[in-house]
């Protein structure tokens, strides 16, 4: 369960990505707030991923640490989920 000072979570997504939906659902179930950036509609978000040399979605950015794909173990570790 998240603490009062939640980490900053941004999810880079696209409209047709089933894994993006799974990440959003998982974080919602764990009650973490996040900001979604759909790279199809947000050119600046797409540029941010290219700047990081990441070409696919989902990308979960937790306190500026990128996680490519729905890597539950890495997400849990960075969020302190046991």
Q: Helix, strand, or coil here: 17?
A: coil
Residue 3 has pLDDT above 60, yes or no: no
CATH number 3.40.30.10 given to 9-79: yes
Better-scored residue on pLDDT, 1 or 52: 52
User: How sure is the predictor about 22, in pLDDT bands with cuts at 50, 70 and 90?
Assistant: very high
Ranges of each domain in the chain? 9-79
| Number of other residues whose CB lies within 10 A of the CB of residue 43 | 9
Phi-psi region of 70 (alpha: psi -120 to 50; beta: other; left: phi over 0): beta
Q: Are 39 and 57 spatial neighbours (Cβ–Cβ below 8 Å)? A: yes
User: How does DSSP classify residue 52?
Assistant: T
Q: What is the pLDDT of residues 28-62, one digit of tens each?
A: 999 999 999 999 999 999 999 999 999 999 999 99
User: How sure is the predictor about 4, in pLDDT bands with cuts at 50, 70 and 90?
Assistant: low
């Amino acid at each position: 369960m998240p603490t009062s000072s939640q980490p900053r979570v941004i999810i880079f997504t696209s409209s047709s990505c089933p894994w993006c939906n799974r990440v959003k659902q998982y974080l919602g179930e764990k009650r973490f707030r996040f900001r979604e950036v759909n790279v199809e509609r947000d050119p600046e978000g797409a540029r941010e991923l290219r700047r990081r040399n990441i070409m696919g979605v989902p990308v979960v950015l937790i306190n500026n640490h990128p996680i490519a794909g729905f890597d539950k173990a890495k997400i849990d570790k960075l969020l302190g989920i046991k």
